[in-house]
Amino acid sequence: MRRARISSVGGYVPPGVLTNDDLSKMVETNDKWIVERTGIRERHIADAHTATSDMAILAAQEALERRGIAANEIDAIILCTVTPDMQFPATACLVQERLGATKAWGFDLSAACSGFLYGLTTAAHLVAAGTHRYVLVVGADTMSRILDYQDRATCILFGDGAGAFLVEPANEGEDIGFIGHLNQIDGSGAESLCMPAGGSRLPSSADTVANRLHYVKQEGNQVFKFAVRKMQEVCEEVLVRNGFSGSDVKLLIPHQANRRIIMATAERLGLPLEQVIINLDKYGNTTAATIPLATRDAVCSGKLEKGDLVLFAAVGAGYTAGAVLWRWG
């Protein structure tokens, strides 16, 4: 089997910015309260004419341009999102057509904040199997479309954005690329973080709209406790499974939901702050886009270089959780 590597990254966030001070004029909150509890200072918000596919395309184009390949060379597109442009067709179809990826097949993958890691795991195995050369994995979410800006427990957390990885085979003999993964789900937490209405269980109606059931609902304390425990567990287990320890990790790139969750994980792994990427202060939680956006920041700042052992980790609604280990290059 061939070893898959991440050969390029791209990202996009819309220009509109919503600060904590802006939110304090909309709900009962303030900058100090938000920063102390989450670490978030501002988030980017898409305008009324921008959808998930629009951001996904811009992130994908940046990744392709950096690699220097044309869209018609892509074999598959995995579009990770919980905010598709519409229920169907899949947003991957819209991205494929507008990119000009004429040879690609693809699909949408819904696993909330863990979605990008699930997509990345899938891409690594498609490449390793020898059936695909170029797989584009995109994480994109327009969370502002499903936020209740009367609910301070949720509206302060999320922003909009997109990120993309290009996955392809490593050159023979190169010690870089995909090493291992651990992905999990725990459906017992399904009701702790969800959007209740709009599906087959509770179809859209005048009542669901009036009762504000088409917005994100979260049991904050329950989700926080699970995330702190599970993020640490999956990171430690994927390292042990593959013969590593926290001291071997050059960089931790976690899902950007809460600074306290990230710092607890880093402390458990024995990683100092300079070996952890945290950018949620600028973007908030962009759901499936957080890890590729954080990776792009790490590459651009020179914190992630060829040969580095990098650990990606996430926990999200479902519950979902995952950790993926790569040798960068």
Same domain (yes/no): 159, 287: no
Same domain (yes/no): 125, 205: no
Residue 8 three-state SS: strand
Give the mean model confidence (pLDDT) for residues 233-245: 98
Same domain (yes/no): 148, 190: no
Cβ–Cβ < 8 Å for 80, 115: yes
Residue 141 binned pLDDT confidence (cut-offs 50, 70, 90): very high
pLDDT score of 142: 98
Same domain (yes/no): 164, 78: yes
Residue 252 three-state SS: strand
Retrieve residue 191's tokens.
């009701």
Retrieve residue 62's tokens.
């940046």
Q: What's the mean pLDDT when you consider all of the chain?
A: 97
Last residue of a domain, one of 134, 169, 204: 169
CA distance 99 to 221: 41
Same domain (yes/no): 239, 100: no
Query: pLDDT tens digits, residue range 193-228?
Result: 999 999 999 999 999 999 999 999 999 999 999 999
Same domain (yes/no): 138, 207: no
pTM exceeds 0.95 for this model:
yes
CA distance 93 to 171: 30
What is the sign of the dihedral through the CA atoms of 168, 174, 177 and 181?
positive
CATH of the domain at 38: 3.40.47.10
pLDDT at 48 over 90: yes
pLDDT score of 55: 99
Largest CA distance in the chain: 61
Same domain (yes/no): 33, 113: yes
pLDDT score of 1: 74
Same domain (yes/no): 266, 283: yes
Give the mean model confidence (pLDDT) for residues 133-143: 98
Domain containing residue 158? 4-169
CA distance 191 to 29: 25
Residue 323 binned pLDDT confidence (cut-offs 50, 70, 90): very high
Give the mean model confidence (pLDDT) for residues 106-135: 98
Same domain (yes/no): 81, 103: yes
Element (H, E) at 290: helix 290-300
Same domain (yes/no): 124, 243: no
44: Cβ–Cβ under 8 A, 6 or more apart, which residues? 13, 14, 15, 16, 17, 18, 159, 160, 161, 283, 284, 286
Same domain (yes/no): 309, 263: yes
Cβ–Cβ < 8 Å for 48, 77: no
Query: pLDDT tens digits, residue range 156-199?
Result: 999 999 999 999 999 998 999 999 999 999 999 999 999 999 99
**Structural domains of the chain, count:** 2
pLDDT score of 149: 97
What one-letter code names the amino acid at 240? V
Last residue of a domain, one of 138, 169, 200: 169
What one-letter code names the amino acid at 267? E
Query: pLDDT tens digits, residue range 264-311?
Result: 999 999 999 999 999 999 999 999 999 999 999 999 999 999 999 999
Same domain (yes/no): 212, 311: yes
Residues taking part in catalysis: 113, 255, 285
pLDDT at 23 over 90: yes
pLDDT score of 173: 87
Last residue of a domain, one of 147, 169, 191: 169
Query: What is the per-residue DSSP string for 314-329?
Result: EEETTTEEEEEEEE--
Query: In terms of DSSP bridges, do strands 177-185 and 135-142 run parallel, antiparallel, or are they unpaired?
Result: unpaired
Query: What is the per-residue DSSP string for 155-215?
Result: HTTB-EEEEEEEEEEPPTT---EEEEEEEEE-GGGGGGEE--SSSSSS---HHHHHTTTTS
